[in-house]
Structures are given as structure tokens and as C-alpha cells.
Amino acid sequence: MTDAVAPEATLPADWRAQPHEVVERDGVRYTLLGTAHVSRASVEAVRDAIAGGGFDVVAVELDENRLKALTDPDTLARLDLVEVIRSERTAMFAANLALSAYQRRLAEQLGIEPGAELKRAVLEARHRDLPVHLVDRDVGLTFRRASARLGFWGRAKLMGGLLASLLAEESVGDDEIEKLKQGDILEASFSEFASDSPALYESVIAERDRYMAARLREVGEGIGGEPLAAGTEVLAVVGAGHLQGLARHLREDTVGATVERESLEALPPKSNVPWFTLFLAAFVLGGFAWGFWQGGVDVGADLLLQWALTTGVLGAIGCAIAGGHPLSILVAFLASPITPLHPALASGTLSALTEAWLRKPTYADFMALRDDVQTVKGWWRNRVSRVLLNFFLTSLGTAIGVWTGGLRMLGTLFG
């Protein structure tokens, strides 16, 4: 059951200028403090709220990975890049880099670390031995759900924007900064290159309002721990852009908290049948068979050679542009004619794995990554970012080769 909203008078006097909502549910009172992720005033408000001693539990709009990024500068250095590539998380790794690069630009421009108030909330709570709960959804999962909603061209625009954001050096505009003060850091980061997208808004903002409300309810119900006693005061530090939606869902949602959370963590189902790959394989292999049958060995062999050279050369060129090792370029050349016909293989993955094995990134590469991706030269100098370039440019070269090779095959067969 949801109880009435507590009166504003229960808040400390020095908070009255801060956006806030107070919701009482099942005997637990949740104070939702809306913050600006680039505001010193928000940092001070969070510090004063926790220092005041009026709260028993602190919840924060963070997930484990974002908290590690804020509090542990060595997190990237412990990353297993080969495992990232093998597990097909390269695009999510690039998304996290884009987010870090955007936040770095903000920090250099404004002199304050984006999310500093969230970091302060965690540190202040730990200092006072208060329980801390991270209630936001993993940013990689949010990115994957948003990507799944966008469709092919939306995803292409999103990935192109990610790369552009990583290479951008210009300062963030004043209008965008003012919007960020009233909004959300993930929304601002993604909307920089995918603005006015209802699908993006649904995954990045609306779904996370529901998710954080479910997580707060789980905290109150003691999911994974002890239920909170009646009268427990919970301070939830969230971006101002989430304040109204989060408060509404916390008051009104009736679906079980765990059921709601799990539904928002699930990825949209993939088709079990890779239709495009099957169609491409049927087209290419059928073209070879038709060439051998109608034109004999010479025509069939010519079609095979055209396909292998077109896809292989363009895949290898992509790898070479990325500064790939000669063996990585060879792998790209050999893999590009074959991998488009297999649903579980990708030339970019094989080439990037070879590059990471031959030129294993060092601790220094990981530590310098955030600085190096701020410049074009840095992308090619840093071994981590060069592996990412290898993956994307080899895949792009292969994709261009597939379309070019397919058109040449049609011209040969029906010309």
C-alpha cells in the first residue's frame, strides 16, 4: 500500500531551495533529493543532508560500474580487453568510453566532476556507517536496451555518434549545460548524438524511473537483506530529471518490485533465426553454384575470386587504416570473405582479438585511455583504443565489401 506524501515541513530548513519529493510507502519514508550532476551546490546539499543525521539509509543513482569509475581510477587498468571482445561487449565498452569522454569534457570546462554529488553521497554515508544502496540500472544494459529499440538505422546513427563523441574536442554549449542541470547525465550524453528519439528517452529516462522506484521498494522490503523497520528514513540522491517520474512510480506502482526490476533488466528477445545471414549465404553460395553450372569452371572461379578479393581487401584496408599489426591485417583479409556467411563470426572480432593478443595493452595504455581518446592521434597511439578502431574499421570494410561484392556478382551473372 502507498501512504500519503509527507509534508515538506519535515525537511531540514537548508534544503528548501533544493528540488525534492518525500514519499511514504509501507511505513518507510523516502526523501528523494533532486540534484544537478554539474553543480557544487548539489554536492554541498548532499553533504549537509547526510551530515545532519536524519537518515538511516542512503540510496544513490549509480550502478556498480559507474561507482567504480567515480571512486577507483584503476578500474580500467584491470579490464580484460580480450574477454570484452570475446563476449561481444565491444560496442558497450565504446559507449562507456564515450560517456567518460563527455564527462571529462564537462569536468575540464566546469571545474567539477560530473556526478560529484553522487560520489559524495556514497563517501559520506560510508564515513557514517550508513547502509548504501545503488539503485540505478547498469549503464551497459541501458545502452543495449536503447540500441535494441532504435532499429538498424537508429543503431547506426548511435554508433556513429559514439565515435564522433569520442573524437570531439569542442566545449559543451551553455544551453546543453543548463539542460543538464535539470536533467540526467546519461540522457545528455546519448542525446548529444541521438536527440529527439522517443525510443531513446524511454530506455534512458522513463524506464530508469521505474527501475529505481522498484529498487527503492526492494530496499524497503528487504530483498537480499532485512526489511526496513517502520519509520526508517531513506535518502535517495537522484538527478533532478528523474525526480517527478521516480516519485510517481514510487507512490503508484503496484506490480511486485522484483518482478518489475527483472522485467526492466531483460533484453528484448532476439530472433533465433539469423535471416539476413541465411539470405546472404544463400545468395552468395547460390551465385557461385549458378556460375559454375551456367558458365563452367572459368565463370565460377571468377565469381569466387571476385568475392574473396573484394571483401578480403576492403576488410584488410579497414584493419590497416586502424594501424593493425601485419598479422591482424592478414586475419582480416582471410576472415572477411567467410565471416559474413556465418552468424556467430565477425571479421572485426577476429582481427581485434589478434591485435589484442599481438599487442597486448599495458597498464599505462589503460591509465592513459581517457586522455588519449580526446585526440585523433591518441586513438592510434593507445593500444586499447587501437583495438577498438581495428574492430570497427575492419567490420566496416567487410560490410562495404559485402555490398560491393554482391553487386559485382549480380553484374557478372546477369550482365
Cβ-based neighbours of 274, under 8 Å, separated by 6 or more: 343
- DSSP state at residue 240: G
> Residue 230: what pLDDT?
92
Task: Single out the residue of 59, 53, 57, 42 nearest to residue 12, CA to CA.
Answer: 53
d(CA 347, CA 199) in angstroms, rounded, equals 30
Q: Among residues 265, 300, 330, which one ends one of the domains?
A: 265
- Assess whether 258 and 314 both reside in one domain: no
pLDDT along the chain (415 residues), means of 10: 41 61 93 83 88 91 86 72 79 71 69 82 94 91 78 64 59 56 57 56 80 95 87 92 90 94 84 70 85 82 91 96 95 93 85 92 81 82 90 92 88 74
Residue 23, strand partner residues: 5, 30
3-state class (DSSP) for residue 30: strand
Assigned domain for 222 exists: yes
d(CA 126, CA 143) in angstroms, rounded, equals 29
d(CA 255, CA 286) in angstroms, rounded, equals 52
> Residue 178: what pLDDT?
54
> Residue 345: what pLDDT?
80
Identify the domain containing residue 174 by its residue range: 2-265
Element (DSSP H or E) covering residue 162: helix 139-167
Assigned domain for 205 exists: yes
Give the number of other Cβ atoms within 10 Å of residue 60's Cβ.
Answer: 26
Backbone angles phi, psi at 179, to 5 degrees: -65, -40
- Assess whether 227 and 343 both reside in one domain: no
Q: CA-based angle 34:40:45, to the nearest 5?
A: 50
CB 63 within 8 A of CB 134: yes
Number of domains in the chain: 2
Cβ-based neighbours of 250, under 8 Å, separated by 6 or more: 2, 23, 25, 30, 32, 213, 216, 217
Would the pTM of this model clear 0.85, i.e. be above it? no
Assigned domain for 270 exists: no
Q: Among residues 265, 294, 327, which one ends one of the domains?
A: 265
Q: CA-based angle 188:241:20, to the nearest 5?
A: 150
Q: Among residues 237, 265, 293, which one ends one of the domains?
A: 265
Q: Which amino acid is at 144?
A: R
